[in-house]
């Protein structure tokens, strides 16, 4: 089941990565659902694991939490994906708000590619360590989990 789960994560991230040309704001909404779900999963892992499992949960909470924050900003209209020159989509802050001028402008392709690679990097740690989730009903111990 482990490899099925991991391949489904990669497949769903890949399917989310296409940008619809008519309404590019849909990218933020679809990614928000997925990253928020992973954030809840990593919080569960954090509560029931020790040693390397907890380290993995720290990484997962930081990465998925940062990405959900960006997605919420995109849903609220603070960040934008819009078509620039030569039909290339760019990722910028909304310049109607002065604070959002801090956000650097990069191509949307780079933003989506590197954020999804960071997510895959953290999820790949599960291939080498067995983590416990509360549905398995295991009593947490203070010793290192084998």
Partner 1 sequence: MILFNHLDLVCYTILASVVSGIFIKIYMENQSLIKATIIFLYLPIFIVTYPVYHFTQIYKYRSDMLRILKKAEISEEKKRKVRKSLSSKRSIAFHVLKSLVLNFRLLLDVYIEVSAESYDTILGKSLDEMKKAVFDDTKDTYIWAI
User: In the complex, which residues of this chain contact partner 1 (CB under 8 A)?
Assistant: 2, 10, 13-14, 17-19, 51-52, 55-56, 109, 112-113, 116-117, 120-125, 127-130, 144, 146
Rank residues 64 and 116 by Cβ distance to partner 1 and give the closer one.
116
Minimal distance, residue 129 CB to partner 1, in Å: 6
Question: CB-wise, 17 or 94, nearer to partner 1?
Answer: 17
Least distance between partner 1 and beta carbon 66 (Å):
17
CB-nearer residue toward partner 1: 10 or 100: 10
Report in angstroms how near the CB of residue 17 gets to partner 1 at its nearest.
4
- Inter-residue contact 60 to 122 (CB < 8 Å): yes
**Contact predicate 106/119, CB 8 Å:** no
Bridge partners, 93 (sequence order): 79
Spell 102-120 as b/e; 16+ CB within 10 A means b: ebeeeebeebbeebbebbe
CB of 80 or CB of 112, closer to partner 1: 112
CB of 68 to partner 1, least distance (A): 19
- Torsional class of 77: left (φ above 0), alpha (ψ -120 to 50), beta (otherwise): left
The three-class DSSP label of residue 48 is helix
């Amino acid at each position: 089941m482990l490899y099925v789960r991991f391949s489904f994560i990669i497949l769903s991230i890949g399917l989310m990565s296409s940008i619809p040309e008519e309404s590019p704001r849909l990218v933020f909404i679809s990614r928000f659902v997925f990253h928020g779900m992973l954030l809840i999963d990593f919080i569960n892992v954090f509560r029931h694991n020790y040693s390397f499992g907890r380290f993995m949960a720290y990484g997962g909470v930081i990465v998925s939490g940062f990405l959900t924050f960006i997605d919420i900003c995109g849903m609220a209209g603070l960040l934008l994906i819009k078509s620039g020159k030569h039909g290339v989509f760019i990722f910028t802050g909304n310049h109607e708000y002065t604070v959002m001028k801090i956000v650097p402008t990069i191509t949307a392709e780079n933003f989506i590619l590197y954020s999804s690679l960071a997510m895959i990097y953290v999820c790949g740690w599960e291939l080498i360590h067995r983590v416990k989730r509360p549905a398995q009903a295991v009593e947490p111990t203070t010793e290192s989990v084998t």
